[in-house]
Structures are given as structure tokens and as C-alpha cells.
Amino acid sequence: MGHLRQERAPIYEALEVFRGERIVPFDVPGHKRGQGNPELTKLLGKQCVSIDVNSMKALDNLCHPVSVIREAEELAADAFGAACAFLMVGGTTSSVQSMVLAACKKGDKIILPRNVHRSVINALVLCGAIPIYVNPDMDSRLGIALGMKLSQVERTVSEHPDAVAVLVNNPTYYGICSDLRSIVALAHRHGMKVLVDEAHGTHFYFGADMPVSAMSAGADMASVSMHKSGGSLTQSSFLLTGPDMNPGYVRQIINLTQTTSASYLLLASLDISRHNLALRGRQEFAKVTALAEYARKEIGAIGGYYAYASELINGDSIFDFDRTKLTINTLGIGLAGIEVYDLLRDEYDIQMELGDIANVLAYISIGDRERDTERLIGALEEIKRKYGRSNADMYAQEYIEPRVAVSPQSAFYAEKESLPLMETRGRICSEFVMCYPPGIPILAPGEEITDAILEYIVYAKEKGCSMTGPEDAGIERLNVLREEWMT
């Protein structure tokens, strides 16, 4: 934390002044402080719609901030220990894509793990950069992909010395951290930028005894999903940059895709949440960690479930673990994670963050209460008793190593044809297939469709995973490259 007055919240303060001025609106938005849309006002409240306003001199402009937004960004940079911070209103997807577009152009190589969020590969479709994948190790018992091994990154860097950047997702959705400091030092020795998808790591900047944050590790850029563990409104995020990035150029890149009509509800929520965490984050995240640790202990006592944490740390592919993550492996009770997810929602009115083939994830954060955690523990106990069965036929694989045939951009825009799912074996996919969440593609454009992938898609569909990505919403058909295009 630097030396700026973190109790300030300049966007929030400007909106409060604006609210008191009763300005007559002959600008957009057209609902005119809610007057033109009474149903919306009833849903959101007058307080909310009255500050859903357009950029104006008094409130600055996100595309080219010179006053209150600029101040809010300086305060955020100070709070996160970054050289610069950019307020993002297109979600962390927009932030991640801005990182990739700022570091790479068409034909550039970027080193990254394959278990990235779809937003990363989407950015490669947009800019034409070439992915060089470091395939993560799997924990076959847990059914999750792990972090990037330093030795794997070293080998990939030596094989591709012309790569311009290394991207790391840290932590993963499941709380797994890579050896970020060592990866940054390695990449920088070879003149490569380091980009960190830190969507699930806001608390690393504010909590005590947390894994290292991207900015502390010396990364060049990081995308921080403030709306996940940081308490801001959905779709609001930060893009952080280190001292070796040109902030003017990064702003230009952001402005290629980010809206020119930024929501002041989102901007204010970022400003207020940064202020809250800077002043109270340490004690708040201590409570979050304690709650997650308590839940882990109680869930472990039920038997059958495995709520994993720091005991997995091996100093390499699991260099550290985010102890706020409450990820529960369900295979020991004979149910897929998605089946437990559905039971919790349908029978117990408990909404989990994700269910996959082997795990459910409860996202514990600053708004959680002990009594709600007790309710989750009780429900899991009852699910085991009522629905538990033999786990003889359970499938655990969550990551299948891809065979990349052509670049994501080439495949996405290539001549293609639609085939029934089971007739696509051996063909090259031209679209995405993924379970969402977590949003890690099973298939991405340019990858060969194999038996293992088809088996996984069929199994995940049968178990009730929410499958997204293809043009055919039912995932009965896939678009593949025409064979003549390949030749």
C-alpha cells in the first residue's frame, strides 16, 4: 500500500454531489433518471437509476480520464501496488483480452497453460497470436488441472525463445497457485512480458498470509476480478500494469473494445470496493479464510467428501494454495460434482459457484455468514446419506491434453462444415466447447477432436453440466474445418 489517502472514493463523492444538484437531463440514458421506465425504477430503486448517468465534465470520461476517474485509478494503483490501474466495465474478460492484445500482435507467440479461461483464447482469435501451450499436470484423484511447473515453462521458453509473453492463471478457479515469482524472473531474463489472469485473486492484495500477488511478483499486467472476491458489482474489474508497460498504449488497446458509455454504477462500485478493501480488507479476509477452514474441517468429518487445501502444496505444480477457496471433491460419495451442485440447488436452495465432473466449489467471500456455512455442511451430510452410492464408475478427468493443428484465428474464420458430434472424430474443430463455469475449453478452435474428448463431452452432458460454446446449442453437432481447406 502506498501513501495516497485510501479513505477517498472520488467517483462516489462526485456522484453524491451530482445527485444533490438536480440537473435537468437532455442527454442519455433515455430513461431520464428512471422517469421513462417506472418498472425499472421499481426493480432497482430511485437511488440506483438516478445515478445511471452519462459521462459529462463533472463526472469525467472512462475513455480519457482527467479528473475523478483518473483519481480513482491512481488510488487503485496505489492500493494494489501497481504502476497504473484501469477501471474496467466489460468484466475481467475485457481486462484479460486487453492484456493479450497489448502484448501480442498477429503471428506473435504467447506461452500459456491450456486450462485458461475462454477469454484468453478469444483474444487469440481476435489478434492472430499463436498459442504455445504448457500442458498442466493433472491430479487424477481430484479431477483438476494444476499450476504451471517451472521446469515446463523453462523448457517451453528455451524451445520458443521468440515468444513475446507468458500468461499464467493464478490462482486457478480451484485455488491452485504457480511459482509466480520464478516464472516472472525466467520470462524477464528472456525479454518476455508476464500477464496474469488473476480473476480469482483480488484478496491476495489485501489479506494477510495470502499467496503472492501478480504485482508483488513483478508481473507486467494483471486482470483482477473485483466483483468476485472484492465485493464490487458484477462485470466490474481492474487491469493493473507494472512499470515497464506504456499506460497510454494500454489505454488505446482498452478503447479498441471497451464501451464508450461506461456505467457509473459499475465505476462507483469499483471505487467504493477498493476503498473498503484498502481500509478493512486485512480483517475481512482473515474472517473469510477462517470460515473456509472451519467448513473444510466439518466437511472432512462427514466422510466421503474431500475439501482440499494447503496439504496439496508440492512446491511446484501446486506452489501455493488459496485457502479462501472451498472446493469439495465429491467422487468419494459416488456422485459427480455437478450432481451435488444440482441437488444443493433443487433440494436445499443452496447455489454453489460451480459443479464439474468431480468437484463443487463454494465461493466464500466478505458477504458470507457462519449460519449459511452451517446450512451447506448440513445439506452435504444429508446428500451423502440420501443419495451416496458406489463410486466404481466415476470419471474424474477434467483436462484433456489438446492436439493443436492450426491457430485459433485461422480455425475460427476458416471454411467449415457442421457434422453430428460422433462423426467428428479426427477432424479439426472450428469453435469452442466448454462446461461453464469454469469456462475452460474442452475444445478450442484449431484443435483435433479425439475419442477422449468425445467421451468427455458425452459424459458431461449426461451428468448435467452446462455446456456452451458451439453454434448448435444442443451440442448435437460441431463445426469442423472442411478437409479441402486443410489441404
CATH of the domain at 335: 3.90.1150.10
Q: Do 174 and 75 share a structural domain?
A: yes
Confidence (pLDDT) at 398: 66
Decide: 145 and 199 in contact? Cβ < 8 Å: no
Q: Kindly give, in sequence order, each residue whose CB lies less than 8 Å from that of residue 30, ignoring residues fewer than 6 positions away.
A: 36
Exposed/middle/buried for 70, CB within 10 Å: 0-12, 13-18, 19+?
middle
Confidence (pLDDT) at 465: 87
Residue 459 lies in a domain: yes
Outline where DSSP puts E strands in 318-358. 320-321, 325-329, 354-355
Answer whether residue 487 shows pLDDT above 70: no
List, for residues 155-200, the tens digit of each pLDDT value: 999 999 999 999 999 999 999 999 999 999 999 999 999 999 999 9
Residue 7 lies in a domain: no
Q: Averaged over 101-128, what is the pLDDT?
A: 95
The residue among 278, 293, 313 that closes a domain is: 278
Q: Averaged over 112-139, what is the pLDDT?
A: 93
Decide: 238 and 85 in contact? Cβ < 8 Å: yes
Q: Do 260 and 148 share a structural domain?
A: yes
Q: Do 250 and 300 share a structural domain?
A: no
d(CA 135, CA 153): 10
d(CA 56, CA 150): 48
- The Cα-based distances of 252 to 62, 104, 180, 381 in angstroms read 12, 14, 28, 52
Q: What is the maximal distance between C-alpha atoms in the chain?
A: 68
Decide: 280 and 274 in contact? Cβ < 8 Å: no
- The Cα-based distances of 161 to 165, 189, 318, 355, 405 in angstroms read 10, 11, 26, 39, 21
List, for residues 190-213, the tens digit of each pLDDT value: 999 999 999 999 999 999 999 999
Residue 12 lies in a domain: no
Q: Do 309 and 165 share a structural domain?
A: no
Q: Does 464 or 269 have the greater pLDDT score?
A: 269
Confidence (pLDDT) at 421: 96
d(CA 171, CA 196): 9
Residue 272 lies in a domain: yes
What residues does 418 pair with on adjacent strands? 479
Q: Do 328 and 237 share a structural domain?
A: no
Which of 263, 236, 225, 274 is closest to 15 using CA atoms?
Answer: 263
Q: Do 75 and 216 share a structural domain?
A: yes
d(CA 483, CA 428): 9
Q: Averaged over 129-154, what is the pLDDT?
A: 93
CATH number at residue 170: 3.40.640.10
By DSSP bridging, strand 306-307 and strand 325-329 are antiparallel
Residue 297 lies in a domain: yes
Q: Which three cell numbers stand for residue 265?
A: 454504477
What residues does 416 pair with on adjacent strands? 481
List, for residues 378-426, the tens digit of each pLDDT value: 999 999 999 999 887 777 766 788 899 999 999 999 999 999 999 999 9
Helix (H) or strand (E) holding 182: helix 180-189
Query: What range does the domain containing 309 cover?
Result: 281-387
Q: Averaged over 201-227, what is the pLDDT?
A: 97
Q: Averaged over 316-324, what is the pLDDT?
A: 97
Confidence (pLDDT) at 331: 94
Number of H-type helices and E-type strands within the chain:
16, 20
Q: Do 287 and 274 share a structural domain?
A: no
Q: Kindly give, in sequence order, each residue whose CB lies less than 8 Å from that of residue 241, ignoring residues fewer than 6 positions away.
A: 82, 83, 84, 85, 86, 220, 221, 247, 250
Answer whether residue 454 shows pLDDT above 60: yes
Q: Do 251 and 111 share a structural domain?
A: yes
d(CA 387, CA 419): 38
Q: Do 225 and 160 share a structural domain?
A: yes
Q: Do 203 and 105 share a structural domain?
A: yes
The residue among 324, 355, 387 that closes a domain is: 387
Q: Name the 3-class secondary structure at 417.
A: strand
Confidence (pLDDT) at 2: 57
Which of 255, 198, 233, 229 is closest to 81 using CA atoms?
Answer: 198
Other residues' Cβ atoms within 10 Å of the Cβ of residue 343: 20
Residue 40 lies in a domain: no
Residue 348: pLDDT band by 50, 70, 90 thresholds? very high
As a whole-number percent, the residues of the chain with pLDDT over 70 amount to 99
Enter the pTM of the model.
0.95
Indicate if the alpha-carbon torsion angle 14, 19, 20, 26 is positive or negative: positive
CATH number at residue 479: 3.90.100.10
- Reply yes or no: is the peptide bond before residue 402 cis, omega within 30 of 0: no
Answer whether residue 1 shows pLDDT above 60: no
Confidence (pLDDT) at 429: 97
By DSSP bridging, strand 165-169 and strand 193-198 are parallel
Helix (H) or strand (E) holding 301: helix 264-302
Residue 473 lies in a domain: yes
**What angle, 0 to 180 degrees and rounded to 10, lies between the N-to-C axes of helices 118-127 and 91-103?**
40
Q: Do 239 and 308 share a structural domain?
A: no
Q: Averaged over 118-142, what is the pLDDT?
A: 93
* 433-435 sheet: strands from edge to edge: 441-443, 433-435, 467-468
List, for residues 433-442, the tens digit of each pLDDT value: 988 878 888 9
Q: Do 210 and 337 share a structural domain?
A: no
The residue among 278, 304, 322 that closes a domain is: 278
Residue 3 lies in a domain: no
**What total of structural domains would you count in the chain?**
3
